[in-house]
Structure 1
Amino acid sequence: MKLNKTYLTLTLILFATEVFIGVSLHDRLIRPFGGDLLVVILIYCFVKSFFDTPWLKTAICTLIFSYIVEVSQYFNLLKHLGLQSSKAAAILLGHSFSWGDMLCYTIGIAIVGILELFHRQPNNNLPKTKII
């Protein structure tokens, strides 16, 4: 296991962004949807910070994990675990199921895929420039 500083930096930036959204924004667009879209990217970057796994496998596993957390909200897992009054548990696991959240997770992982594919493209078509 080798620490990937790029993914770790992205993880920290995304975490700070999520905290900012959670604390400062109380709108009807960015907080409910932007936060869900970013959280899967955050989880993906966190995993890639510590494990050199194939990007597609990591992205799919992150998406499945996110779906499982969302479905656990449908079945009211916090109540079954006796954690319905725990703020920390509610922040980590959420408290209400939403198909919109599932869509945001899917879009977030699609963004990861696009960025990973773009990043891995050879730069053979770029013009050669000489730096003085």
Structure 2
Amino acid sequence: MKLIVKYRLYYLILFLFTILLGLGSRRYGSYLPAFVADYAGDTLWAAMVYWGISVLFPKKEFFRKGFIALSFSYCIEISQLYQADWINAIRGTTLGALVLGHGFLWSDILCYTVGVGLAILIDFTLFINKEYI
């Protein structure tokens, strides 16, 4: 198996696992400590974005992928300041709420920063010997 395909597979597994953890944190939040229940979903959402970027661009440097993931996450959060009826209708669906969120919160910006930072740390730790171009 080519190295690039192997890394894409690893990143895809991390992407899917992070989605499961994030959905689990929302569904079973009542069983988690309040702090974890409140912030795990947003933190994991940003980590999932990082893994998604990594699936698409497995050879990019850790911090470049992190910058792209944070930029995307921040843009989604800032877009929540826009409250037109048509986009709120999309946000009213399950998928729309998961992707676009509902309202701007500074705590979400912090969660995204932590989530991407943790993903970079995991990426660096697991794939420290990764061969870049």
* Interval of TM-score (by shorter of Structure 1 and Structure 2): 0.7 to 0.9
* Contact 1:2 1:50 (C-alpha < 8 Å) held by counterparts: no
CA distance in 1, matches of 2:73, 2:80: 11
List gaps (5 residues or longer) in structure 1: 123-132
Is 1:50 the equivalent of 2:53? no
Residue by residue over 1:11-47, the C-alpha shift from the partner in whole angstroms, topping out at 9 and shown as x without a partner, is: 1111111111122214642233111111111111122
Instruction: Normalising by structure 2, report the TM-score.
Output: 0.75
- For residue 76 of structure 1, the aligned residue among 77, 83, 97 is 83
Residue 61 of structure 1 is matched in structure 2 by: 68
User: Normalized per residue, which structure has more helix?
Assistant: 2
Looking at CA atoms only, which structure, 1 or 2, has the larger radius of gyration?
1
Residue 20 of structure 1 is matched in structure 2 by: 24
Residue 118 of structure 2 is matched in structure 1 by: 111
Superposed, 1:82-121 pairs within 5 Å as 83=89, 85-119=92-126
List gaps (5 residues or longer) in structure 2: none
- For residue 2 of structure 1, the aligned residue among 2, 5, 13 is 5
- For residue 35 of structure 2, the aligned residue among 5, 26, 29 is 29
Cα RMSD after superposing both structures: 2.4
State the 1:119 CA deviation: 4.4
Residue by residue over 1:47-98, the C-alpha shift from the partner in whole angstroms, topping out at 9 and shown as x without a partner, is: 2123222221111010011001001112225x35362543331222011110
SS at 2:80 equivalent: helix
Instruction: Normalising by structure 1, report the TM-score.
Output: 0.76
